[in-house]
C-alpha cells in the first residue's frame, strides 16, 4: 500500500486518506444503467492499494446495490478500508421521495447496512441531510446510541446548516461534515466552513467538479436524457454563461500541464488541511489523474485568477434538489 497524506476527522477522530473515493457512481443513478461490477470492484481494490482508504456510500445508492458492491470488494480487506455511510433519503424508481430520520427508522437502516456490507461496525454513519422533520437531538442521539451498541464508530453529518452543525456537535462530537464544495459552489465559505474549522470537524467535500461542469468537457446544450438537465445550472443561458467561466479554468490548466479536473480537485485540497476532496470514480483509469491532483501547487497569481473568476455567485444556477 502506498503512502498518501492523511487527514484527521475531528479533534479526536481517525486519520484517513486526504483523498476519498466516492462510490455512488458504481451504482445506477437517476434510473440509469449500472456500471460494470468487475471494474467497480477493481477500482476499489486499486484505490486501496494506492492508499485511499476512505470509501463513501449511502444506503439508498442503487437501493442497497452500492453497499452490497462495497461489501464484496472489501470482504478480505476490511481493515484496509474506512467506510462512510449516509442514511435517511428515500427513493423510488430512482426518484427522491423525501427523508425519514425517525429514530425507529435509523435503527432499521443500520441493520440493513451492516448486513449488506457484511460487517459488524460502520466507521462513519451520518444522516444524508437534515430537513427539520425530526429534532437534531433525536437523530444524533440515536446514532450515539448505536456507538454504544458497537454498530458505529464515529458520527458524521451531511448537507446541514451552521446552526445545525453546532447543535449536533453539542449532543455528541461530530467527526466529519460531508458537503458539496467546489470552485462553482462556495456559499458554505461564509458560515458553515468556519464553524467546522472552529469545532475541529473534518470536511469531506464532494462534487469537486460541480457535476462535471469543471471538467472542461461539457458543451451546451446537454443531451435531452442527461440527468443534469434537472439542475438550473445546466439549463439554457445559465449553462452558456457558466461554460464561459470554465474556459478560464481550461486555459490555466493547459498552462500548468494538467487537466481542469485536477485543478478543481487541487483547489479544494488547498482550502484547508482539514478538508478532504471526495472524488467519485467507477473506473481504475481515473485514479492516476485524481491522485496526481494532490501534488499540484498554485502560484499566488493562479489562485487569484481562480478565486476571482469563480467568486461566490459567479456561477449561475444550482445543483440542489429539494426532497
Instruction: List, by residue number, the catalytic residues.
Output: 61
Whole-number Cα distances in Å, 168 to 50, 202, 250: 34, 14, 40
CA atoms within 13 A on the CB side of 135: 5
Taking the C-alpha atoms of residue 295 and residue 138, their distance in angstroms, rounded to an integer, is 42
What are 16's strand-pairing partners? 7
What's the grid cell of residue 45? 481494490
Q: Which residues contact 65 (CB under 8 A, 6 or more apart)?
A: 27, 28, 34
Q: Quickly tell me which residue has 491522485 as its cell.
A: 291
Taking the C-alpha atoms of residue 51 and residue 19, their distance in angstroms, rounded to an integer, is 9
Taking the C-alpha atoms of residue 155 and residue 173, their distance in angstroms, rounded to an integer, is 7
Taking the C-alpha atoms of residue 168 and residue 224, their distance in angstroms, rounded to an integer, is 41
Backbone angles phi, psi at 251, to 5 degrees: -65, -40
Whole-number Cα distances in Å, 259 to 166, 182, 218, 253, 292: 37, 15, 13, 5, 10
Cβ atoms of residues 290 and 17 within 8 Å? no
What are 280's strand-pairing partners? 22
Amino acid at each position: 500500500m502506498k503512502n498518501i497524506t492523511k487527514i484527521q476527522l475531528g479533534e479526536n477522530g481517525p486519520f484517513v486518506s486526504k483523498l476519498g473515493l466516492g462510490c455512488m457512481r458504481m451504482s445506477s443513478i437517476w434510473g440509469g444503467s449500472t456500471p460494470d461490477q468487475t471494474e467497480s470492484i477493481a477500482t476499489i481494490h486499486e484505490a486501496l492499494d494506492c492508499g485511499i482508504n476512505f470509501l463513501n456510500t449511502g444506503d439508498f445508492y442503487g437501493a442497497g446495490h452500492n453497499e452490497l458492491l462495497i461489501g464484496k470488494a472489501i470482504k478480505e480487506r476490511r481493515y484496509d478500508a474506512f467506510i462512510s455511510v449516509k442514511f435517511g433519503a428515500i427513493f423510488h424508481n430512482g426518484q427522491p421521495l423525501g427523508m425519514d430520520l425517525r429514530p425507529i427508522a435509523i435503527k432499521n437502516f443500520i441493520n440493513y447496512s451492516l448486513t449488506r456490507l457484511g460487517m459488524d461496525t460502520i466507521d462513519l454513519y451520518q444522516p444524508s441531510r437534515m430537513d427539520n422533520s425530526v429534532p437534531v437531538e433525536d437523530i444524533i442521539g440515536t446514532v450515539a446510541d448505536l456507538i454504544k451498541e458497537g454498530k458505529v464508530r464515529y458520527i458524521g453529518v451531511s448537507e446541514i446548516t451552521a446552526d445545525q452543525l453546532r447543535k449536533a456537535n453539542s449532543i455528541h462530537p461530530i467527526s466529519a461534515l460531508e458537503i458539496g464544495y467546489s470552485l462553482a459552489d462556495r456559499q458554505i465559505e461564509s458560515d458553515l466552513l468556519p464553524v467546522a474549522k472552529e469545532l475541529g470537524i473534518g470536511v469531506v467535500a464532494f462534487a469537486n467538479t460541480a457535476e462535471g461542469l469543471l471538467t472542461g468537457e461539457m458543451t451546451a446544450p446537454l443531451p435531452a436524457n442527461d440527468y443534469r438537465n434537472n439542475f438550473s445550472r445546466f439549463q439554457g443561458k445559465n449553462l452558456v454563461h457558466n461554460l464561459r467561466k470554465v474556459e478560464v479554468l481550461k486555459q490555466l490548466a493547459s498552462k500548468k500541464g494538467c487537466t481542469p479536473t485536477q485543478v478543481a480537485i487541487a483547489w479544494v485540497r488547498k482550502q484547508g488541511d482539514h478538508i478532504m476532496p471526495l472524488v467519485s470514480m467507477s473506473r481504475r483509469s481515473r485514479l492516476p489523474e485524481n491522485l496526481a491532483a494532490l501534488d499540484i501547487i498554485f502560484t499566488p497569481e493562479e489562485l487569484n485568477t481562480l478565486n476571482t473568476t469563480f467568486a461566490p455567485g459567479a456561477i449561475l444556477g444550482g445543483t440542489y434538489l429539494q426532497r
